[in-house]
Amino acid sequence: MIWIWFALVVMLTTFLVLMSRRVRQAQVRLGRMESRLAAVLAGPDAGLSVWDPDGRLVGFNPRFKEFYPDAPLKPGLVFEDLIRYTVNRGLVRVPDDDNDDGIERWVSERVERFGTPSHEVLRTPDGRWLDVYTRSTDAGEVLLLYSDTTATRETEASLIDRGQQLERHTADLQLLADVIHAGREESFESAAAQIVERVCAWSAWPVGFVYRVVGTGTEDSVSLDVVASSYEDTDDSGRFAQLRALVAREARDDGSGVARRAHKTGRVVWVPNVSVDPAVDPDRLSVMTGVRGVCAVPVIHEGQVVAVLEFLSSDQLTPDPSTTRLLEATAEVLASVLTSRNAG
């Protein structure tokens, strides 16, 4: 019997030693986890909260509290309650927030995907941008991260805007370079043909004309003769085939009426919408398929309008000061051909 009791005592002692060792190891691991958790919660600039697998709050850092200054944040808080608090207090913009079904749907979607890795962008009523990330740990905890990215997004928007401006300036400079090169042509007609093509390519306007002023004396005795043109389509079955045929039949043409106005005023004329502008010739309008806007630019030489550039746009046009100045500069280059080559 003694040896049985002795064996039991040895077994019990061994068991207690093993259990004690495991407890100490578990305490060490727990201490390390708590230290890591504390470091994570204290570290990032973003707001971070940790939730258990059942959706109850374990801990959060001060930055997370800043997103919910008046919320009753404490361990054990249910995730769904925080989501409802967020929408009920209007802390973020929610689609259909004036509709109970819309709010309930918004809440349900976020509760259902709890624990699933996700990323969404939210806006606050004061216009800030929040990036919200959800991630799960190997142990099953769920990390909810709020990051205010307003400054970054505003900087990116500014950079995009500057990039677009730079692209526009680069394209404008290239147009001027091309136009100046075309201005070296020996004849007015050759220079006009190249210039109208380059302006159409730069602006994406599908049709362009250059009218040469023919005749002297009163306004009624002056005609506008088409000496150069550019069309987006080149075959007779294209959408501008009828317009090309009309122009080809008329050796002398007064333009669409808009070119006549530019000749008379000596200023750039913008017609935002041809369908409601009485200056557009009805016959010309009937074959201007797909044209919404017209721009006409006078070419002035020695104080007289000697030609008119006219461009047709597929989109409604809006008068643009910078574009107007660039078109005026283009017309000046074309006018210089008359001076340097003594053409016409």
pLDDT average, residue stretch 26-42: 43
Q: 203 vs 43, 56, 81, 269, CA distance in Å?
A: 52, 59, 56, 16
26: left (phi over 0), alpha (psi -120 to 50) or beta: alpha
Structure tokens at 214: 């023919």
Q: Is the pLDDT of residue 85 over 70?
A: yes
Q: Do residues 258 and 241 lie in contact, with contact meaning Cβ atoms separated by under 8 Å? A: no
State residue 35's pLDDT score: 42
Q: N- to C-terminal Cα distance for the chain?
A: 134
Q: Which residues pair with 296 in a beta bridge?
A: 269, 310
Q: Give the lowest-confidence range in 77-91, 125-139, 215-229.
A: 215-229
C-alpha triplet 163, 169, 170: angle, nearest 5°: 90
State residue 118's pLDDT score: 85
The percent of residues in the chain predicted with pLDDT above 90, rounded, is 16
Q: Which tens digits make up the pLDDT trace of 246-297?
A: 777 765 555 568 888 898 899 999 988 887 777 677 777 777 777 888 899 9
Higher pLDDT, 1 or 117: 117
State residue 218's pLDDT score: 52
* Kind plus residue range of the DSSP H or E element containing 286: helix 282-286
Q: Which residues pair with 136 in a beta bridge?
A: 142
Q: 208 vs 8, 179, 230, 297, 304, CA distance in Å?
A: 106, 15, 5, 11, 22
Q: Do residues 89 and 77 lie in contact, with contact meaning Cβ atoms separated by under 8 Å? A: no
Q: Is the pLDDT of residue 108 over 60?
A: yes
pLDDT average, residue stretch 4-33: 48
State residue 314's pLDDT score: 87
CATH superfamily of the 43-148 domain: PAS domain (3.30.450.20)
Q: Assign a CATH topology to domain 166-341.
A: Beta-Lactamase (3.30.450)
- The mean pLDDT of the chain is 77
Q: Is the pLDDT of residue 96 over 60?
A: yes
140: left (phi over 0), alpha (psi -120 to 50) or beta: left
State residue 30's pLDDT score: 41
Q: Is the pLDDT of residue 103 over 60?
A: yes
Q: Is the pLDDT of residue 39 over 50?
A: no
pLDDT average, residue stretch 76-95: 88
pTM, two decimal places:
0.54
The percent of residues in the chain predicted with pLDDT above 70, rounded, is 74
